Amino acid sequence: MAKFRKSLLHRFLSWKSRNLSHRQFLMILSAIIGFLAGICAVTIKNLTHFIQVFVKGDTVISYHNAFYFIFPLIGLLIVYLILKFLIRKKPGMGIPATLYAISRQKGIMKRFQMYSSLITAPITVGFGGSVGLEAPTVATGASIGSNLSRMFLLNQTTRTLLIGCAAAGAMSSIFNAPIAAIIFAIEVFSLDLTLTSLLPLLIASVSAVLTSYFFFGSEIILPFSLEDAFTISEVPYYILLGVLAAGCSIYFTRVHFRLMKLMARIRSGILRLFTGGLLLGLIIYFIPPLYGEGYSVVNNLLQENYLEALGTNLFNAYLENIWVVILLLAGLVIFKIIATSLTLSAGGIGGIFAPVMFMGSAMGHGFALLLNNLGLFNDKISVSNFTLVGMAGLMAGVLHAPLTAIFLIAELTHGYELFIPLMITAAISYMITSKFQPHSVYTMELAQRGDLLTHDKDQTVLTLMNITRVIEKNFIALNIDMNLGDVVHQGVVRSSRNIFPVIDENRNFMGIILLDDIRSIMFKEKLYEEVKVQDIMQQAPEIIDIETDRMREIMQKFQVSNAWNLPVVKDGKYVGFISKSKMLTAYRQKLIEVTV
C-alpha cells in the first residue's frame, strides 16, 4: 500500500510539473486548505456543542450548580489521559507553537498536530475550560497546510504561506469575516503583503467561509445589528475607552504569564492538573459566566441584556442596583484571564482569542453603564456600541493586532458606521500597550528566545538561519598543557588555519592562539620546551554560546569585535568556529529563499 501511494504521488507530481505552473498549483492548494480549515472549524465547534449539551442536560442541572465545580476538572483529566496514553505527545500552545514551527522548524509541523487539538480542545471547552477554540482551529489547519506542502515537496516560503492560508481560513470560517481573517494572518504570522501572498490568502479565506455557509447558513457566532449611530460628541469617551483597554491589556498579559510561570513550578503534571482544575472549578462555581468560551455572555451584553449575561450568582438579590452590576462586570474582566490561565496551565487545550473578546465586551459594557449612570452628562451613550468597540480595544492591545480588531468588528456589524471609534480606541490601546508590552501574548516567549519572525526582513532572515549549519569544525584544538614544540608539530604543520582553539582535558574552551602570535618564535627550537601554550594564548574577542546566542547576537558580536572568526561553545565546551564570511554567505542564501 505504501509503495502504491508513493507511486501515485510520483505520477501526480510528474503530471503537475508538466501541466501546472507553481502559481497555479498554489492557488489550487490554497482553496483546498481553506476548505479543510473550514471543515476543522465546523468539526471543533460541533463537537464542543455536543459535549456542552450533554454536560448541561436536564439530569445534570437537577444537581444544582455543582457541575460548574466538578466538570472542568473532569474535562482536564480526560485531556490529560488522551495526551498521555493515546496521542503520547504534547500539541503545544496553538498559535505560539505554529509561529515557532515557522521560525525554527522551517514550517514543518508534526502529523499528530492535525488531529490532537481537534480532539482535545472540544473536550477542554465543552467541560467548562475557560478558553477559546480559535487557536486550536488555526493550529489544526496550519498543520494540515504544513503537511500538504511537505507531501507535494514545496519549499519553505510556500509552506509558510500555506500555513498563513490555513490561519486565514480558520478565522474566516469561525467568524464569517473573510477580510479580517486575511488581515489576521498577515498581522499575526508576519506574512509579506504582496500580490503573491494576498491572492492565496483571499482564495483560502473565501473557500473557508463558503464551507461555513454550507454547514451553518448565515448563522454567525456573534449576531449583531447596529442600531445606534456614532456621533462626534462621543470621541472623548472612545479615547478614554482606549486608555482603559490598554490598562486591561497590560493586566491580561502580565497576569497570564505570571500565573503560567507560577503553575509551571509544580513539576508533577497530575498534581498541576488537580491544582489548576480545582481552582478553576471554584472560580466558575462562584462566577458561572466564566464557564467555557463565553460567547453567550458576549451576545447577551451586545443585546444590552446584562442580567442574562451575569446569570445566576450570589448577588442575584442585588442586581437591581446598577452599581452592583457594574462591579460584577468588572469582576468578569478581572477573573476571566485567571480562569483562562488556570485552564491552560493545568493542561487544557485552547486559546486566548475568545477570552479577549469576552473581557473586552464586559469592559466596554461596564464602562458605558458607568458613564450613563454617573449623572455628569445629559446624553446617554450607546452601551452596545461601546461593548463592541471594547472588544476591538482589547484585541488590539493583547494580540497586537489593531487592524484585525478593527476589520473583525466592522465585518461583524455588517457595516463601517463604527469605523472611526474602532480606529480611535484600537490605535490608542495598541500604542499604550506596546509601550509597556513590546510583544503580544502570542509572541512574548518567542521574542524572549529570539525565535520571533517579524515584518522586518533582516530580522526574519536572521531568525530563520540555522546556527549549526555555519559552524566550522576543521580547526585543530590544542591542549593547554602543550608546549611550543607541540603547537608547531601538532598544530601549525597539520593545519591550514591561522587560528587554534585552546582546550583543557575536558574540552572546556580556554582561549585561542593566533599564528601571528607565534610567527616570530616558532622556528626557535630552543624555546620549544620552555614556552608553554598558556604563555602564548589569549582570550577570544567574543565567544558564541550555541545554547543562548541567536543570529542577531552573533552578528552583533562580529561587529563589536571586528573579528573574522569566533569560537563556539556549548556548556563551556569547545564546538568549533563561525567565520564572518560563511555567515554572510548563509545570510545571502537565506534571503534569496525568503524572497522567492
Whether residue 526 lies inside any domain: the answer is: yes
Is residue 340 located within the same domain as residue 268? yes
Q: Which CATH number do you get for residue 521?
A: 3.10.580.10
* Residue 267, SS3 per DSSP: coil
Residues with Cβ within 8 Å of 440's Cβ and at least 6 positions away in sequence, in order, are: 188, 253, 398, 399, 400, 401
Taking a C-beta distance cutoff of 8 angstroms, is the pair 387, 302 a contact? yes
CA distance 165 to 185: 7
- In percent, the amount of the chain with pLDDT more than 90 equals 25
Is residue 520 located within the same domain as residue 548? yes
Residue 596 has pLDDT above 50, yes or no: no
Whether residue 62 lies inside any domain: the answer is: yes
* Residue 166, SS3 per DSSP: helix
CA distance 587 to 530: 45
Tracing cell 486550536 back to the chain, one arrives at 136
Pairing of strands 499-503, 478-479: parallel
Q: Give the pLDDT confidence of 27-47 residue by residue, as tens digits.
A: 999 999 999 999 998 899 889
* Residue 1, SS3 per DSSP: coil
Is residue 442 located within the same domain as residue 469? no
Looking at residue 35, its pLDDT comes to: 93
Whether residue 439 lies inside any domain: the answer is: yes
Whether residue 488 lies inside any domain: the answer is: yes
Is residue 418 located within the same domain as residue 567? no
Between the two ends of the chain, the Cα-to-Cα distance in Å is: 36
CA distance 139 to 155: 20
The tally of domains found in the chain comes to: 3
* Residue after which a domain boundary falls, among 417, 452, 487: 452
Is residue 255 located within the same domain as residue 392? yes
Whether residue 56 lies inside any domain: the answer is: yes
Looking at residue 460, its pLDDT comes to: 58
Is residue 99 located within the same domain as residue 69? yes
Structure pTM? 0.78
Whether residue 444 lies inside any domain: the answer is: yes
Q: Give the pLDDT confidence of 368-404 residue by residue, as tens digits.
A: 999 988 876 667 888 889 999 999 999 999 988 899 9
Residue 501 has pLDDT above 70, yes or no: yes
* Residue after which a domain boundary falls, among 216, 247, 262: 216
Is residue 202 located within the same domain as residue 267? no
Is residue 255 located within the same domain as residue 354? yes
Taking a C-beta distance cutoff of 8 angstroms, is the pair 498, 475 a contact? no
Is residue 56 located within the same domain as residue 187? yes
| DSSP-assigned letters across all residues of 18-48 | HH--HHHHHHHHHHHHHHHHHHHHHHHHHHH
Radius of gyration of the chain (CA): 29
Is residue 394 located within the same domain as residue 479? no
Domain range holding 142?
A: 18-216
Closest CA to 225 of 171, 303, 173, 308: 303
Tracing cell 507535494 back to the chain, one arrives at 152
Mean pLDDT of 461-490: 81
Query: Nine-digit cell at 164?
Result: 498563513
Mean pLDDT of 502-530: 85
Q: Which CATH number do you get for residue 347?
A: 1.10.3080.10
Is residue 325 located within the same domain as residue 440? yes
Whether residue 3 lies inside any domain: the answer is: no
Is residue 271 located within the same domain as residue 419? yes
Q: How many helices (H) and strands (E) does the chain have?
A: 26, 7
CA distance 429 to 580: 42
* Residue after which a domain boundary falls, among 421, 452, 483: 452
Whether residue 173 lies inside any domain: the answer is: yes
